Structure 1
Amino acid sequence: MLAKCLDGIPHNQFRQLIEYWKHPTVQAICEMNSQNRKKQKWRHRMGPINFARVRVALRAAKDNNEEPSKPEIFIATRTKTGKEIQADTQVAIAELQNHQNSGETTDDAFMAVFRKEQPGRVRCYGRSVTTSSLKKDEEINNLKQKRADEITSLKEELREEMRHLFTQLLQNNPGLNFQDIPGCVGSNLASPIDASTAQAVRGTNLPYSSGSAQDSVLQKENAGN
């Protein structure tokens, strides 16, 4: 084993590693891990790529950015281009497709094939994801969506109020140019009336609907004189 030491690895460190491998306790652990791995079914083929990255890639590939289902994650992580699919994986994929073709939902089809989830874990989400964490994330996303809907609704109400306000303003002042109103130039609010009815000749005296506005104009004229 020392003769197979790779270049760049000190021989004294490699010798310590060999002694560690040959320790009876370590060999027993290795044998147990080997037997457990042989019992595993439907092993994924993602290597060091975690399932979260797979979910992000699948979500981005959809037009509506929809969350991928468990069957989609299972198929994506157990198949690899250019490599043969394991026999037990082929059977599981066929069963999933049969259940979904019969009209079952993706969750029902997944549970029918793989049975109930084991405590403390959730299939197709990776090691760190649990049922409670998924529930918490769902609640947070629901709150965010609710907040976004409320903001959108308030913006629509504000637009309607602004349209109504400007409509009344232009009706009371037929000669008013909509672009002369401070703060409206460059605004993303659509004009409340047709542009042809809102045109006014610049430089003309604009009628005012309130006495306070007329007083203001008179004060400016007097100050200029």
Structure 2
Amino acid sequence: MTGLRDAWRRHKQKIKKNFFDKNSTLEDMLAKCPDGIPHNQFRQLIEYWKHPTVQAICEMNSQNRKKQKWRHRMGPINFARVRVALRAAKDNNEEPSKPEIFIATRTKTGKEIQADTQVAIAELQNRQNSGETTDDAFRAVYGKEQLGRVRCYGRSVTTSSLKKDEEINNLKQKHADEITSLKEELREEMRHLFTQLLQNNPGLNFHDIPGCVGSDLASPMMQVVHKL
């Protein structure tokens, strides 16, 4: 739904950029009505864009947009895809840090990095080299997170959703650790069992154990013995 909303907004922005001029008359703009939009709907759209309140909001949004620093250069590519690519490039599939995402989304092969972005990247790297954690370095450069969003994760990602994902990952890791621990305990118990068995029966031949004789396939017990 977020992607659909963004696509619709880009479509409206393209229509306005190519077919609307606040200094032109209504008749001139209607004469250049784009294909696929009925004249009556395009008239309503022009009247909406020419409304003083709407123009004031557009001007305010335009000024706020110009104040944004270090704008990303990924175009329609969302941050989730960048995060997946960075994670796959690591040997241990480790989650990329915010500074790594910041640098990856602000640089583009073959294009010059903006001056203010170069300064921010240099400060991030210097702070990390001096011993600061990645989160502390990013917070010092970027400032505190705004309510309802998390930087470098893309839209629709919030602090609460990240916390929930972290809890799920912790549970998965705990379960995996428990399985590994149980396997190690079982291995140790079996090792101790066969050690005692050999000590009490020096001449014991494992092939004499029922289930091991008369078959070309090793029994589960013999498989455990070989693994030990």
TM-score of the two chains, using structure 1 as the length reference: 0.68
1:93 CA displacement: 0.9
- Report deviation, 1:11: 3.1
Unaligned runs of 5+ in 1: 193-224
- Contiguous gaps of at least 5 residues in structure 2: 1-28, 221-227
Work out whether residues 159 and 189 of structure 1, in 8 Å CA contact, stay in contact via their aligned partners in 2.
Answer: no
Which residues in structure 2 correspond to 1:1-225 (within 5 Å)?
1-165=29-193
Size of the aligned set, in residue pairs, is 193
Shift of 1:97: 1.6
Distance 1:163-1:175 versus aligned 2 partners, 3 A rule: same
Stretch moving more, 147-156 or 110-119 = 110-119
Q: Cα distance 1:154–1:119, how it changes in 2: closer, same or farther (>3 A)?
A: same
For the residues of structure 1 that align with 2:205 and 2:56, how far apart are their CA atoms? 89
Structure 1 residue 185 displacement after superposition: 11
Kindly indicate whether the alpha-carbon contact (under 8 Å) linking 2:212 and 2:219 is maintained by their aligned counterparts in 1.
Answer: no
The structure-2 alpha-carbon separation of the partners of 1:171 and 1:126, relative to structure 1 and needing over 3 Å to count, comes to same
Larger radius of gyration: 1
Go from structure 1 to structure 2 and tell me whether the alpha carbon gap of 1:3 and 1:179 turns closer, same or farther (over 3 Å shift).
Answer: farther
SS at match of 1:184: coil
Q: State the identity as a percent.
A: 95
Cα distance change, pair 181–25 in 1 and its aligned pair in 2 (3 A) = farther
SS at match of 2:31: helix
How far is the alpha carbon of 1:41 from its aligned partner? 1.0
What do you get for the CA RMSD once the two structures are aligned?
Answer: 4.9
| In structure 2, C-alpha distance between the alignment counterparts of 1:138 and 1:130, rounded to whole Å | 12
Kindly indicate whether the alpha-carbon contact (under 8 Å) linking 2:70 and 2:116 is maintained by their aligned counterparts in 1. yes
| CA–CA distance in structure 1, aligned partners of residues 218 and 140 of structure 2 | 54
- Report how far residue 151 of structure 1 moved: 0.8
Higher-helix-fraction structure = 2
Query: Residues of 2 paired with 1:17 and 1:36: CA distance?
Result: 24
Q: 2-side partners of 1:12 and 1:185: how far apart?
A: 90
Contact 2:30–2:43 (Cα < 8 Å) also in 1: yes
**Higher deviation after alignment, 75-84 or 62-71:** 75-84
